[in-house]
Structures are given as structure tokens and as C-alpha cells.
Structure 1
């Protein structure tokens, strides 16, 4: 456009390929059919109604559309919306560009290097309803295996047809609590009535072949702030409104309106069983970078690495979970215990102070005087937060089990490079040996996004975890024969119950039993990631003669917003009954 007064009002503005005349078109024609605009790289001119305003960008929607539900009527304009209000009719000129937030993520069709002018006011388009009374998203397939554009079956394609458009999510239920860093939570429409994989907690569980494309990410920004939306799994709204965006590796909405919020009242009943002479109880708990030091800012890479677990009463809260909810188990297997100076970059590797602070907190909460058992890692060689030297550790009640800390052993293998080595600890319970192996396999971090251009998404450490499972299996095979011995593997496997590392350990020799399989498939959960309830923490057992076992997961963290979590994992409690 060449409108002199307009350019003066906004200042100089560059439009890509300014030597060429802009193509006069419509938003639906810019969006086209599919994930990439047929006008990508072209300079275009179009008109529409402003539907949402952000700090540096705004959304525009064609008030009439083209009548084709396979093409979107909305688009994102990257230009500071000076003087604009929702409902303004604007003429925009700029360059069409497909922009992606990260490698492998689907792109967003945007108009960049743009100028605009207000030409009037108009009615805001009626939002498209997502739900049974409008358009229902697919429930199983995220990206079509054929590569064809199929909004009826592919979740990514379905939401692409709504990119940049105003929508209303009907009767949403929260399936992923608010994450602090991203300021986002996840919902499904219709209280989950038309979703597959809804579990008894009110969340939605990832299962083989079903990554739940009906999950919708709700991104919070101005004028809303996260404090208004400390939502938990199971919370409900009558509706949520916003504009469909691609962000954080998934599709969702930029929140614009909400109505009738009804929170779920979460109660966490304690384990009611009393200690029994014939029952050994073993808990497993990832305590998420627990340390007793307030890091000095000059000694950490970023101020984000400074925390105060003592001042924030995290030690007291973990102690309450162990004593009052888990019933002061005979053994507690811990993951992610940091060294004594936390995330500071130093030569410190010991965790005596960290563990003593925890055992003191447990005693103050009315628990037993636990004996801590841990072996130091190699400095900065086993992953986790830089400088933190996270490791595996045990708390053992010496009044209930006999343990010799000198017999603790780390299981070494090349597959554990840059990862925590498993910690094996034999103990005696009424004269019978119990070999406990505490694991923290390699994280799935760095894997391809579920909503991504790389399909099927690659698990970046899947082969590594298979090697780690094999190393643990070989250690068990090397144990001397003992028909009365119990072997227990607990911890954070970073592996779903149906993936190969766990299948290696629960099939063949030794034939361990995954206690999670006693639960219904949809309730095998201990962690929530991007709205998907998942099973990363497990308890595997190889029982001796005359022994039986049961396990329960206490969902005290994964259902809550990050601000209210003690850890991002739920603890597990295993009970083994011995025949005397």
C-alpha cells in the first residue's frame, strides 16, 4: 500500500518485496488447504476484523469466510497494534511467512513486515464451537500416517483448519494443570464425554496408539495472569474462548474469555495400614532437585537456578508426604537428591547435608530415625541440573530392616553415560534378603514433539533406555541363586509401561512383574506432561517363595498446578508380604 499519511502516522515500514504490487486476496485464500500457505513468501493485501490484540501482534478474521470448513478464516499479523481495538476493520499489507517456534514443530501462517490501516468497525465473527454442539476434534491420531490432509481423523489437520480463528471450547475439563514456566494448561471439551482415554482422576491418559489429539492447550497472557488460573486436573469451566494458535509444540488457544469456573476439591487420604511384622513397605519418590542450599547467584549459570527448598518448606512437605501419607515406609527410595550446594558450580559432590535435612524433617513430622544410604556420583557427569549432581538415595528404618551401607553398589554400564547410575542395596527383612534397585533412566527430553513435522516422533533416548534396562537385567542375572530372595526395581524409568525397556525387564529371565499392570490401563499414571497423564514411575518385583505384593500410587502432585506441587512426580508405595 502507498498511503502517505498512514505511513507517516506509523513511521517508516518495510514490506517484503516492496518493488512488487501486493496481491489483493482474502484470509481463507492465504491460509489455503493444508499446513503451508499457497501464498508463502508473497506480498498480499486483505481486509478483516480484529479479533484479538497482543503486545506485538494481533489476529484478524474474515467476517464472512469462504464457507469451507477445511480452510481457516483467521490469521496472525506481526505488527504492534497501535491504536487498534477488537472489532476494528483493518486493511493489511505484508509478506506471508510460515513461522515455527522450534525444530520439527508445525508452522504458523503469519503476515510479517506489515502495515495496516483502520477502515471502519464491524461485528466480531461468531466463534466456532469445539465440542459436541459444533466441531468435534479427532480423538486418536495426531498426524495422518498417509501424509494426506485429513481434518476428520488427524488432530493436527483439524486444528490447522481453525488456525487464527475465534473458537469457544464447550464445557472444558482440565486434564493438564497449569505449568509455571509456560503459563499454559490443557483441557478437553464436553467434560471429556467424547474423548478417549479419560481416567478416574479426571485426566486423559496416553496409551499405545493414542496420544490424545483432543487435548487443547490453553495459553494465558494479558489481560489474564497465571495467578487467576492455578487450575488442577478435574477443574471445569462452562466455556473457554480464544484464538487458535500453534505454540509450545501443540495446538491450542490464546485465552480471551472464560465462564463459570468450578474447581475440583482434591483430598489426599493417607495410607491407613499400620506397620505389620510380616509386611515390608517400600516407597519410591522423585523429589525433584532437592537440596538444602540457597545458591549464590554468582555461582550458578542463571538466576533460575537459585532456589530455597528449606525456606519454601519443601523438606517439611516431602517429610509430611513420607510420614503422614505414605505411612513412614520401611524403605524410601529417592530420586533427584542434589549435592550439598545445590546447583552451584563447584567441586562439591556429597549430599550428607541434603539427606540429613530431610531425615531431620521426617523426625520432626513424627517419623522414624531413618538411616540414609547414598553413593556420590562423578562430579558433573551424571546429568540433571548443572552443578546439582543429582543421585539416587535410600532412607531405611533400622528398626524394621537390617542394612549394611557398605554393600550398596552402583550399576555401571556405557549406556548410563551422562545419566544417574542405578543404586542397588541388599537388606534383610526377618532374615530374608531383599535386593532393591533404585533407578533413574535417561530423560525423554529432546524428543520430537507429538504435534510435529517429524512423524512418527522420535524418542531421543529410547535406545539408550533399552541399554540401561539390559544392564539392570544383567545385574539381576548375576546374583547368586536364592529362591527366597525378593528383587525389587523402583524409581523413575522415564518409560511408559508398554515400551521396550520395561518389556525387557518383565519378560524372559528374570521375569519381573510390573505392579502397575494391576491397575486399569487408564489409571497407570504418575506424571502429567502437556495434558497427557503418563506412567514414568514403576515398581517391578521378582518375589521369593511364599511372598505376595501390592502397590498403590498416591496422586498428590501430578494433578496439581506447578505452584502447588511438592514434586512433579507422584510417589508409589509397594508392600511385600512375607510368609513366616
Structure 2
């Protein structure tokens, strides 16, 4: 294909002040006029000041002005263009979007030296200080009253709905001359398209291979605003000639792929602008193509999912085959600006720096839905996990992640595909997982954009299991008591007898039900949670998201205890903490406590903190259980030592609480609600509610607050230590939850008093946050439309919940009091010795033996 460069007007003067002309305009578009613009050109000088210039619009109905726009403070761009438009979201390269309306004509556009104050509404035409003008209509008769602004004999220009009016060749004709205007594909802020010449042809005939054709760079446009990344030629029919670089046309109904292919200009046809892409996606299954083909095709420019593409291919031919492909564009994350992605949309790319899988939820569809996952140069943590809310550091952390993230996609467009080709050729399975933290040494593919930037890649990509699964959490070897906090993700056991699950319910009962839809799904959920708890070897377990259905034999917590104890030795059996109430609060879910009765014993009764016994302040109740789940508090005794455990599940960040400026500080919804609850909890625990007589207290649970947020600050101010940020933690930067490509800690263990000295380890066991949701207990009857989902759920600990369990190792000295020695009782009927002198020796020997037995 031959590159057709725009010709600059030879007579354009470049000096102290370049000559300015109106070079292109578009007053009429299909249906509503939403992409009107006027382009000024300085002959290519570039960066020409427009101070002291004004655009004046004249109405043909009375040949008087109806609008005037000052250009003070603006320059032409580096290539010499300035674009005034009605909407920068629909006009590429727009520098000033105050153009209220270009009437369809007959009307005129004029460029003057002067200011808008000199051209109020209904100002008559004047030639004083007139630099250039164009008179136009939309199939209208000539307006003689307007044409007096032009040089004698110059025509009225016709503007059509599907094209713009532009000087061809680019910049030609001279000021106040309109005879070089023609209709062509709009090119605001760039050299005119000029059908049959200029910077690419706008012809709608396919023509022959090698004829002039529209350059892809002209279709993609020079995008300067990532929120207005629309092609300047959208809706137009174009002819392009380029190389096929990737073929993802549909193979069959079971493997639809992306239903199209990518083409890219030959390198000799690249323009000189690094910000205009040279590649594009062709949405068509009707053309038989192969990678390396040089194809010529006629198609319509379209925008779909924020991606520029070609569709409705009406004619095509393969010019040649087996051609070498253009070199890949080398990309490094993070990019300096999101426009860097836009500039290579549709082009061959290579990332060779080594990337890390940072998200499995993709652009919202999920790894299992479309076979996509996110990669970055490093793992990213929630801004308020690592920095104070509203700080410069928090803002920087949030902004960086947007530039340090792309999606890798297998190119299959089917939801819930039966086979996912990652992490290797054997495919994704329960025993061959994909985890956040795995690494990708090199990525080669095509840059694609559909509501998110992603890379379409071959399926032979190499993925390294750099963060492998572990069989158990990391607990210090000298720990002799293990306390665990675990969110069990809506553990609802139906009626407790194999029925009463989601599929069996209707009405209000259905609307409040959570968890497994079927008994079979519940069995999988239970098996996974049991596997996780047993692997921790926990002695005390604080639970969140149990069904709030009491404590009898059919309750969820009793069901879980029974499942944990099944087949286990008696010394490992768990018991549940029963606060002596039918239920705890009115929420659908509740916290719970279980413990090994052979290892620890209850000291005193359990206490529930709710709004009825909460501390208060001037604004009322601190621990509001209208939003927060009530806390369950129990003291335990272990080898003569006492510790109190308070299990909590504070209000989520999801639904709003109606707080002032809610979420504006980066702490999401209901931050004030959680902060007040944390304050109330600390004050309540300070009263020793269980009458333990001891200051060793542990707050455990899903606090729905990241580590630098206000609720955590409140607890630390009250004297609690966040264990995951002490030298006993097993990782430098802890986390327990993944959300939107960020890791963070919503689940915490905090201690106060002498208990801190007993802590020897704290671990967030990463069995859930870094695993894909396909591994959890959901089956096809639980909303997934294909049977192979069952191949991913396995009766193991991995993805037993969406939060990681927090595992605390404690070491206590044995302060147990020895069993008291009973006082000897006198023989009520003394007997004379039967063995003579041997008797005293025998008595002494027996007393000694008894003493030895007591010591054992």
C-alpha cells in the first residue's frame, strides 16, 4: 500500500505570525449534531498564538452574527492545528469546546482579528480585520449576502451529514477562497483526509491492492483525552489495506473466540505520531484470513465498549500472504499515562519485564467467565492499608494502580467456558489453580480494549506458580495455644436436616437466605471449611458469617461443630460457646465461637455486646447493631492463664449509612458507623464484662476496615496492638482480602494488656484471597450455567471463603495449680502390727510409692 502524505500549501507564510486559515469544519452529522467543529490551520508552523483572534458565526436568515468565540490564550498544536468544537467527548483533538451550535446553513464561519465584544448578536457583516471565511449550506441555494465576505467568484460549500468540508489538498486554496473545499471523512486536528489524495483516501470503492486507502492511524485518531477516545471517523465507511496480525474468528459455537481479527499497517505506512495507533480490530467471521495476510477491505468505523473497530465488512480481498509482521511495541508497566495504552490499541505488543498476577476478577467478568486475569509490575495494596486516608501517599497508591494494570485474555468470548487454558496447557482445575502472586515472565499479544485495556494472547503463555499453596498456616514451633479468626462466607445449613436451602424457599425466607442454594453445594461448603479449620489445628476459633439461627442441634454453628468432630479423636473435639440466648441480634448472619474443651475451659459466661448495653456518647449509642453485628465475648482458661476473646463483624463497606460525605475520604461507606463501633467495643471491654479479672484481651474478626483507617486508629488509641504489623507477623505486608486488584487486611487480631507478650506468631493463611471464585462451593445449581464448574470445587481448604483466616500462635507458661494432696484420714479401728519389726519398713516404702504416684 502506498502512503499518501498530506501536502502543505507552498505559499503558506511562516514568520513572526503564520498565516491562519479555516481548514475544515463540520456543521452536520447524522441524526443529532453532536460532533460539530471548526479547524484552524497555520500552514504547519505549529504553536502559533491565537491571541486577538475571534471566530464569528453568521446566520443566513438575516446575514448577521449569532455567536462569537474569543481565542485568546490558545495556540495551534505542534502540527499547526486548532480545533474549536461543541463537545470534546465526540470530537478528537478538540482544544476549546465552547462552540454552542453550528447551524446547518446557509450560514458562514469567519475568522477575525478582534474580540467577541465587537460581535454581539445581530452584528452586520464586515470585511474589517477579516482573515478568512467560509460560506456553507446543506444542499441550500447560494446566499449572496454572505458570499460578499469571500473573494469574487468563490463558491458556497456544501456540507453533508456523513462527511466534513475540508480543503484538499490539506491547507490549499488560500484565505477567503473556498474552491478547494471537498467532502471527506472528518479529521479534526489532523491533515485532511481528501478523497483520492492527501493523507489517505476516503474512497468507498474497494479499488485494487496498492491503491490509496484510509490509514488506520487516521481512523484511530490522535486521542488526547482518555474519556473521549472515539474515532474521528465513527460511522463512516472506509477502505483499509493492512496486515493480519492475529486471527480470533469463531471456530465453532462452543469456541466463539472474539469473532474477528486484528490488522496493522505495514511499518512503511506508519505516520509520524506515536499517539495514533497503527492497528485495529475487524469484527467479522465472514472473511477467511491467516496471520501474515495483507488484506484490503471495505468496512464501517465503529465504537464498541470504548474500542475503535471496523464492522460490516462489505468487500474484501487478500492481496498477498506469508508477509512478515510489524515489530512488536515494547511496553513496560506502569505506563506514564493511560493514553499510552490507547496509542497502541490493536497493535502487536510485548511485555518482557516480568509481571505478576494481581487480580483474577478481571474487568468484572471474572477469570471463569471469559478466561481473563490482571497483571501488574507488582502487587498493589489498598491505599488505606498502607497510607492514611486522604493522604498524598494514599492518592498516589490509587493512581499508580490504574497505570500498572492490564488484562490477559485467552481470546474466547464465551461466558463460563468449559476449558480455561491457564495456567498451562492442561488447563485450570482444582489441583492446577491460578493464584494471585503467580508470575508471567513474558507476554506477547495484541493490545485490545473493551471497557478495559487487555492483551489477547496465545494459550501457550508461561505462568510460574511463584506463590504456591501451603498445606497449613505458619505457626511458631513454640506456640502451645492457637487462636483463629475465620469468615465462613454465609454458612447457612438450611433446616439442619438436608432441606431448607435456597432452591427450596420462596417469599421473605428466600430474600433473606444466603449461602448454598442446594444441599449438595452446602456439603461442598462444609467440607471446605472443615478442611481449613482442621488444618489450622486451632484451639479457639472466632467465626463470622454464620447463619443466625441459634445454638440448638439444628443450628449452623452446631452443624459445623458436629462436622469438625466427626472422625476426630476426643481431645480434638470442639464445643460451641452459647451465650444463653435464642439468637444473637436480628441480622441474617452472626459471629460465633468454638473451642477445644480438652485444651481450654470457659471462665465465666459469654457476653454479647449490642446496642442495649453499648457505651454511649453525646451522639448516642456507640456500638449500633442496626448495622454492625453484635460482638460475642468469652473468657477462657488455659494452664492457669486467662484470656478474653471478642469476636466481631463490623458493618461492610457496601451499602450506605447516610453519613456526611460518605466514602469521599477513601474509607468507603459507613466509616463513621464502624469507627464508633470500634470505640464502643474498646470501652466495653475495658470494663471486664466477663469478670475475668485479667487484662489479656484479643479482638478478633472481620472489622471491614483496612489497617490505616479510622476504626483501627480508634482501637490502637485505646491501647490495642494490631498483631499483623508486629515482628511476630509472618509477612512484611499482610493482607487477607482482594478487591478490584488491591490486596488489604479487613480481618484482624488485636491484643491488649499482658497478652501481647504471649504472642509468638501471627499469620494470614492465604487460602482464599488469592484463589479464584471458581474454587468455592458454588455448583451449577447455584447459578452457574455449566456442569464443569463442579470440576473446580474440591473438598479442600482452598477458596473455602473469600477472606483469609488469621492464625495467632500464643505461648503460655504452665501456671496451673497442682492438685491438692488430701489430708490423711485416721484409721477408725487401729490394728496391731502383724509383721513385727518388718512393718515400719513396709509402711515407709508404701508412703514413698504413693508420693511418686501423685507426682506423676
1:332 to 517, 520, 541: 541
Distance 1:423-1:304 versus aligned 2 partners, 3 A rule: closer
Q: Deviations over 1:507-562 (max 9, x none)?
A: x2x11100010248753122333444322221111123784323222223334343
Distance 2:333 2:443 in 1: 16
- Which residue in 2 is equivalent to 1:161? 343
CA contact (8 A) 1:58 1:80 kept: yes
Distance 1:285-1:183 versus aligned 2 partners, 3 A rule: farther
CA contact (8 A) 1:197 1:207 kept: no
CA drift at 1:353: 3.5
Distance 2:262 2:628 in 1: 48
2:735 to 493, 504, 525: 525
Distance 1:478-1:67 versus aligned 2 partners, 3 A rule: farther
SS of the residue corresponding to residue 407 of structure 1 reads strand
CA contact (8 A) 1:339 1:351 kept: no
- Which residue in 2 is equivalent to 1:32? 222
Q: Which sections of structure 2, spanning at least 5 residues, go unmatched?
A: 1-28, 32-159, 164-183, 186-201, 203-213, 250-255, 362-366, 388-393, 422-426, 612-621, 657-662, 776-797, 816-856
CA contact (8 A) 2:705 2:711 kept: yes
1:438 aligns with 2:647: yes
SS of the residue corresponding to residue 408 of structure 1 reads strand
CA drift at 1:334: 0.9
1:535 to 732, 738, 745: 745
1:281 to 465, 468, 482: 482
CA contact (8 A) 2:298 2:314 kept: yes
2:471 to 268, 284, 303: 268
Distance 1:289 1:419 in 2: 16
CA drift at 1:475: 2.9
Q: CA RMSD in A?
A: 4.3
Q: Which sections of structure 1, spanning at least 5 residues, go unmatched?
A: 1-14, 100-107, 139-150, 189-194, 341-347, 383-388, 448-453
Scaled by the length of structure 1, what TM-score is found? 0.71
- Which residue in 2 is equivalent to 1:371? 575
CA drift at 1:489: 1.2
- Which residue in 1 is equivalent to 2:162? 20
- Which residue in 1 is equivalent to 2:167? none
CA contact (8 A) 2:653 2:704 kept: yes
Q: How does 1:348-387 map to 2 (within 5 A)?
A: 352-364=554-566, 366=568, 368-373=572-577, 376=583, 382=587
1:498 aligns with 2:690: no
**Which stretches of structure 1, 4 residues or longer, exceed 6 Å deviation after superposition?**
272-276, 301-304, 348-351, 454-458, 480-483
1:392 aligns with 2:588: no
CA contact (8 A) 1:207 1:522 kept: no
CA drift at 1:91: 3.6
SS of the residue corresponding to residue 527 of structure 2 reads helix
Distance 1:339 1:494 in 2: 19
Distance 1:16 1:91 in 2: 24
Q: Deviations over 1:361-420 (max 9, x none)?
A: 2223526222223673555xx4xxxxxx22211112223333379533043357554553
CA contact (8 A) 1:76 1:111 kept: yes
Distance 2:734 2:720 in 1: 17
Distance 1:76 1:419 in 2: 49
- Which residue in 1 is equivalent to 2:527? 316
1:136 aligns with 2:332: yes
Distance 1:63-1:41 versus aligned 2 partners, 3 A rule: closer
Distance 1:421 1:165 in 2: 55
Distance 1:334 1:461 in 2: 22
CA drift at 1:297: 2.5
Distance 2:478 2:520 in 1: 30
1:512 aligns with 2:720: yes
Aligned residues: 501
Distance 2:485 2:473 in 1: 16
1:53 aligns with 2:236: no
2:630 to 417, 421, 424: 421
Distance 1:457 1:526 in 2: 19
1:184 aligns with 2:377: no
SS of the residue corresponding to residue 267 of structure 1 reads coil
SS of the residue corresponding to residue 558 of structure 2 reads helix
Scaled by the length of structure 2, what TM-score is found? 0.51
Distance 1:187 1:455 in 2: 28
Distance 2:800 2:531 in 1: 11
- Which residue in 2 is equivalent to 1:44? 236
Structure 1 or 2, whichever has the larger Rg, is: 2
Deviates more, 1:557-566 or 1:497-506: 557-566
CA drift at 1:60: 3.9
- Which residue in 2 is equivalent to 1:222? 412
Distance 2:369 2:551 in 1: 28
CA contact (8 A) 2:644 2:696 kept: yes
- Which residue in 1 is equivalent to 2:852? none
